[in-house]
Amino acid sequence: MGLTIGLLVAGAIVLALSAWRHGRPHDPVRGPRMVPWAIIMLIAATWCLVMLVHIINLLGVQTGGGRPRL
């Protein structure tokens, strides 16, 4: 549980950093942006969502929707 919470916090930090960097105005003097901050932000948001669902599953709540496994 502690590792999952740590990974959730790390993902939230990456999400906040990439959202901040993506929202900054473009500076044409420095050239084009070489890091795709929007894609990193989406990946970090997905990671946080997966970690949150994992924490909920560790607490005993079933999130599978009741579908049978193959």
The answer to whether 18 touches 41, Cβ cutoff 8 Å, is: yes
For residue 68, being part of any structural domain is answered with no
pTM for this model (two decimals)? 0.82
Q: What would the mean pLDDT of 51-68 be, rounded to a whole number?
A: 85
Q: Which structure tokens are listed for 36?
A: 């795709």
The answer to whether 56 touches 63, Cβ cutoff 8 Å, is: yes
Total tally of structural domains belonging to the chain: 1
For residue 28, being part of any structural domain is answered with no
For residue 64, being part of any structural domain is answered with no
For residue 8, being part of any structural domain is answered with yes
Domain containing 8: what range? 2-23+35-58
Residues 6+ apart with CB under 8 A from 15: 41, 44, 45, 48
Query: Does position 22 have pLDDT exceeding 80, yes or no?
Result: yes
For residue 65, being part of any structural domain is answered with no
For residue 29, being part of any structural domain is answered with no
For residue 11, being part of any structural domain is answered with yes
Quote the Cα angle for 40-44-45, to 5°. Answer: 120
| Residue 41 CB neighbour total at 10 angstroms | 20
